[in-house]
Structure 1
Amino acid sequence: MAIRQPVVSVLGHVDHGKTKLLDRIRGTAVGDREAGAITQHIGATEVPIGRIYEMCGSIIGSKKFTVPGLLFIDTPGHQAFTSLRARGGSLADLAVLVIDIREGLMPQTIESIHILRQYKTPFVIALNKVDTIEGWNSTADRPFVLSEKDQQAHTKEVFEQHMYEIISQLSSNGVFADRYDRIDDFTKAVALIPISAKTGEGVPDLMLMLIGLAQRFLETRLTKEEGPGKGTVLEVKEVKGLGQTLDMILYSGTLKTGATVAIGTRGAPLVTRIKAILKPKPLDEIRDPRDRFDNVKELHAAAGVKIAVQDATGVIAGAPIRVVKNAKDPSIQEITEETSIKIETEEKGITIKADAIGSLEALAYEAKAAGIPIRKYGIGEITRRDVLESSYGNDTHHVILGFNVSTSKDAEAEIATHSIKVMTNNIVYALIDDYKLWLDESTRQNESDKRVEFAFPAKITILPDHIFRVNKPAVVGVRVLAGRIRVGENLIDREGKDCGTIKSVRDDDGNVLKEGVQGDEVSVAIEGVTVGRQINENDVLYVDMIESGYKEVQKVELTDDEKLALSDTVAIKRRTEPFWGM
């Protein structure tokens, strides 16, 4: 049975060489019009198997493949990856994770690893910029396994050091990888292919690995399905002379001019008709910039193509597109299910927004993994309504996380009024980390505020030989055994008897302190007691608490010593009031 080309996506950190690698792949056959030349699609680059045989001739031997080639999505990066979906998963059948050999794993590298795991997409690693290794002798477009043999011993040693440092970093992030020519079982290790997107070194090895993995592990997935076309929208564009057009990847079946299609939108699926199917002309055939396309009647998967449609209202990037018989076709229900956002919400939680369905689900996935409750979600910019609806509940839920989205002007005007925390980022896990940091700081601040508002559990002992004044007020030296003491707090002894009110707290030099904390030895002035009567040396005293304050304190994180002091205080209070604090 015939199989189609696998769709390949390229991911990695900014400036690590994603775009340059795609440019190199496209550029290997510029001006080459013979059969097997690379074909430029809309939003994708097709590398046919014949061209791969030519590129890999010196390392491929007599090996032959049934996979007809590779179709690279032209838009690199994890944002494109998450927004382009098919069959409920990623549009990509395979992925290339590009890592700069000098810089190693960076934030977007780790983000990409998270996303590839989430979508269960098989991937290889392109270890880029080997040409920057000190002393590296470059030969354009040469396979790495041959290029490495020409390097000096010291250069090889430096290369190996860099490579194994990155292998170690990958291992720390749960990815077991090794150089591709040192792997015996590709089900147990991720292939790492050293390349230079600048010189083309290692690119043949990369192509061979991708085609080999597709042949061995993806044959069932890649089996060509005859029948109605299925695809994914890359972009919605208005084109002069054509009207509304959709750039799309056709990954299954056949597309024909005049066919009725159903397309996913933010609402119900849109049913419309294809007016034209357009493929880009080869670069050397373009004579007039306004005449860039060939009009084709029929197209088979897999391919990148532009279609002109009668209506594209509400269509978004990543939306599924299906050829249907009519407006009652069962495929329309499939689209409804595929575009329905499957995110668990809770009665109390934060708001999340993202630029596309896939990226929204990626953000929700990471939020759930981090234990962050979600109350509301949506696609598109952060609006005034989002801000107003986020103002309900407790302060830690007055938060909006935005992935790759902006904030509307009327929303910005409401943010300060309603004390809403808005965080945006184009890295999902960095956004989650930002929220965690903010939550920790906010929690600490809230606890600090409550410690001022309510008497907190505290335990002190009066130091021997530190009686400075007997009464009016009594001034004694104390050690704070747990918690903290402040001016205005009342003290009790182990029997629950009143032991006065703290009027001042000072250090050894007589400086007035805001508070005395656990471990401090300070002098305190206590109004309402006389040393030798109500208090004595070595006495253990507790900060008195009111019942409402006790209930608030239970909501705050306490140290182990504070918990013991609180337990003692509760036991003391319940001697006279058995149901105190219940």
Structure 2
Amino acid sequence: MSAPAIGGVQVARGNGATIRLPRGASLSDFADRIGANPASLVQIMLHLGEMVTATQSVNEETLQLLGAELDYNIQVVSPEEEDRELLEAFDIEFGEDEGDEADLAARPPVVTVMGHVDHGKTKLLDAIRKTNVVAREAGGITQHIGAYQVSAEHEGEERRITFIDTPGHEAFTAMRARGAKSTDIAVLVVAADDGVKPQTIEALNHAQAAEVPVVVAVNKVDKEGADPNKVRAQLTEYGLVAEEYGGSTLFVDISAKNGTGIDQLLEAILLTADAELDLRANPTMDAQGIAIEAHLDKGRGPVATVLVQRGTLRVGDSIVCGEAFGRVRAMLDDNGDAVEEATPSRPVLVMGLTAVPSAGDNFIVVTDDRMARQIAQQRAARKRSADMAKSSRRRTLEELFSDLEKGRVDELKLIIKGDVSGSVEALEDALLKIDVGDEVRLRVLHRAVGAITEYDVNLAVADDNAVIIGFNVRPEPRARDLAEREGVDIRYYSVIYQAIEEIEAALKGMLKPEFEEVQMGTAEVREVFKVPKIGNVAGSLVRSGVIVRNSKARVIRDGVVIADNLTVSSLRRFKDDATEVREGFECGIGVGYNDIRLDDVIETFEMREKPRV
């Protein structure tokens, strides 16, 4: 059965058939699945009021619209499914332990430290690791994800625990969510003197969404005004009931500054792991895991902190991590010492990748470099298509004509460069959430890790002088010279919310001014005089406010506006010209309108620019 002709185009109906399409699919991809001519689908979209080319990556909304018109059920494959299908094509199963039950061995728990900003998360890790991490953080806020492994004695046996440190600032929500997904146990840090805060709840929500057990570290118990029991009571409202109150959540009172309660916290983590989790993995299979952080090192090239989740990662392995691939040239542990292999739950710094992966990308060891390259290239192509579909918002014919009438919508274009991929990603995510209405748009042309290069400056010049944001990075000397010659604006930041505030201010500055009408005064017509060369002049009594010469005016009769958009062209007190006449005084008003009658009201006003909120 064929569909009714739309503008002479005939395409077979789907009768509710399901079509699975990848993110960023084009009309050509759709046409291939249903055996239709792509040009026919372009014409159908045109008659539906959408301008789409055959090869353009389109978003899910557009695919659903076309699917509904042709009676197809469209399913857009999620990124996780997409990647699973890609790996299955190479006969790789990600996320599962291979082998028998006998091959599984116990592994250390992976712990994520979460909580509100300035509640002492990094100080806690500092106390555990006996190293000063806080001093390296700009503004006292953790801006990178780090992973560290420590030893603790439990029931006479030495056990290892892996800690993931997630940033505390609210703009890093996406990174913190990823931290929760790669963890076994969440340690929720709450300051005893400050109590439960919005980010405490946000962090708890991430942990509960990832279905991981929570251990609460009540920090700063040595400070004046500290009330650990208040924290326990507050968290009861969110489903965390302390053991001493009859619940199952372990609460440990600590002071990260003085180092008290740290051993009890480590013991609580191990107790929770043993009681609630079966932490085992196969150390003999090819390694799989997740990238915790990555950056471009000047001497070493792209380096990534990876957490091995199953298998054993060895120097010399062929590895693919997100869109990056390569051979493991060297590995360093969290103390900077070289290691030959990394077993499950161990974080290591990997060197030898061809590019900088993103925080949260999964990594796998494959048989050879050729397979690694193919997987990375296909992942990159799919991500490009998805990004293009995301950035190219669907345009209707009505919008096109509207834009032509009022001029193009203003757009602020950005190029973001940062020192580590997690910070770049979090900054982009925060900036894209800035909302100043539909008049101004923000578009990220390019984001990457590393110093600002000549390529970045040339891209900014080519795209209508886009602004370059450098987050903890600086331009190369030749790039700096080129930027000065071409007048490219480069902004430098080390704390994320400074960048957000400045970009938001810039976007608001691009908005066209909005005006509002402000009433200045009203006058009641008591007499009408005919003046040669001027016309009728209203002898009036100012009832409210002030009547000002050259202000805008309208004439109102019995509550109805009968003449608008007039100007007070003449204003007199007796025989003298006046600049303004205030309430309670009589005057003669000329507004260039002759049909003025007794008891009419002349209302004057001005248009003032509204401040943007």
Mapped partners of 2:277, 2:212: distance in 1: 11
State the 1:196 CA deviation: 0.9
**Are residues 1:536 and 2:607 paired?**
no
Pair 1:314 & 2:416 matched? no
Cα separation, partners in 2 of 1:335 and 1:17, compared to 1, 3 Å = farther
5+ residue gaps, structure 2: 1-103, 132-144, 394-408
Distance 2:308 2:424 in 1: 23
SS at match of 2:153: helix
Partner residue of 1:182 out of 245, 261, 269: 245
1:229 aligned to 2:287? yes
* Native 8 Å contact 1:458 1:543 kept in 2: yes
2:555, 2:563 within 8 Å by CA — same for their partners in 1? yes
SS in structure 2 of the partner of residue 207 of structure 1: helix
When you count strand as a share of all residues, which structure comes out higher? 2
Describe the shift of the 1:12–1:379 C-alpha distance in structure 2 as closer, same or farther (beyond 3 A).
Answer: farther
Counterparts in 2 of 1:276 and 1:249: CA distance versus 1, 3 Å:
same
SS in 1 for 2:256: coil
Q: Deviations over 1:122-162 (max 9, x none)?
A: 6554331111236xxxxxxxxxxxxxxxxxxxxxxx62576
Match of 1:101 among 184, 188, 192: 192
User: In structure 2, how many angstroms separate the alpha carbons of the residues matched to 1:325 and 1:119?
Assistant: 32
Q: 1:261 aligns with which of 297, 308, 319?
A: 319
Deviation, structure 1 residue 237: 7.5
Is the counterpart of residue 26 in structure 1 residue 116 in structure 2?
A: no
Partner of 2:93: none
1:505 & 1:164 partners in 2: Cα distance? 73
Q: Does 1:379 align with 2:447?
A: yes
Q: Hey, what's the Cα distance between the residues in 2 that align with 1:215 and 1:512? A: 87
Paired with 2:119 and 2:571, the residues of 1 have a C-alpha distance of 58
Q: Which amino acid aligns with 2:254?
A: I
Q: Hey, what does 1:564 align to over in structure 2?
A: none
Q: How many Å apart are 1:300 and its aligned residue?
A: 1.6
Note closer, same or farther for the CA distance 1:195–1:423 as it changes in structure 2 (3 Å cut): same
Residue 489, structure 1, aligned to residue 556, structure 2? no
Q: Deviations over 1:301-354 (max 9, x none)?
A: 121234554xx4433563654321123437952786489486632447654636
Partner of 2:112: 9
Conserved 8 A contact 1:125-1:192: yes
Aligned to 1:305: 348
C-alpha distance in 1 between matches for 2:461 and 2:210: 34
Q: 1:475 to 1:160 in 2, by over 3 A?
A: farther
CA contact (8 A) 2:147 2:292 kept: no
Q: Is contact 2:539–2:586 with CA below 8 Å preserved after alignment?
A: no
**Counterpart code for 1:303:** R
1:502 aligns with 2:568: yes
Please list the CA deviations of residues 92-150 of structure 1 after superposition, one character each: whole Å capped at 9, or x if unmatched: 4444343433345779868867876898876554331111236xxxxxxxxxxxxxxxx
Aligned mates of 1:259, 1:27 — CA distance in 2: 33
Supply the distance in 1 between the matched residues of 2:286 and 2:553 (Cα, whole angstroms).
80
1:424 to 1:234, Cα distance in 2 relative to 1, 3 A: closer
| Percentage of matched positions with identical amino acids | 24
Q: Displacement, 1:446?
A: 1.0
Once the two structures are superposed, the pairs formed by residues 203-214 of structure 1 within 5 Å of their partners are 203-214=262-273
Q: Residue type matched to 1:256 in 2?
A: R
Q: Specify every segment of 5 or more residues in structure 1 that has no aligned partner in the other structure, as ranges.
A: 29-41, 57-67, 135-157, 282-291, 393-397, 559-582
Distance 1:106 1:472, change over 3 A: same
Q: Is the 8 A contact 2:467 2:491 kept in 1?
A: yes
Name the CA distance, whole Å, in 2 between partners of 1:52 and 1:523: 94
Cα distance in 1, alignment partners of residues 174 and 256 from structure 2: 24
| 1:398-413 equivalences in 2 (<5 Å) | 409=480
Cα gap change, 1:474 to 1:384, in 2 (>3 Å):
farther
Q: TM-score, normalised by structure 1?
A: 0.55
Q: Indicate conservation of the 8 Å contact 1:262/1:332, yes or no.
A: no
Q: Aligned in 2, Cα 1:8/1:499: closer, same or farther, shift over 3 Å?
A: closer
Secondary structure, aligned partner of 1:329: helix
Alignment of 1:286-301 (within 5 A): 293=337, 295-296=339-340, 298-301=341-344
- CA separation of 1:480/1:412 partners in 2, compared to 1, >3 Å: closer, same or farther? farther
Q: Matched residue pairs, number?
A: 448
Deviations 1:5-43 (A, max 9, x none): 232233456654333312322359xxxxxxxxxxxxx96
Query: Matched residue of 2:108: which SS?
Result: coil
Q: 1:499 to 1:273 in 2, by over 3 A?
A: closer
SS of the equivalent of 1:98 reads strand
What's the offset of the Cα at 1:195?
1.6
Please name the residue that 1:126 is paired with.
217
Q: CA deviation at 1:447?
A: 0.6
Which runs of structure 2 are paired with 1:44-63 in the superposition (5 Å)? Answer: 44-47=147-150, 51-53=153-155
Q: Which amino acid aligns with 1:489?
A: K
Q: Which amino acid aligns with 1:70?
A: I
Partner of 1:462: 523
User: Is 2:327 the counterpart of 1:273?
Assistant: yes
Tell me what 2:70 maps to. Answer: none
Question: What TM-score results when the alignment is normalised by the length of structure 2?
Answer: 0.53
**Which one of 324, 327, 345 corresponds to residue 366 of structure 2?**
324
Distance 2:474 2:527 in 1: 63
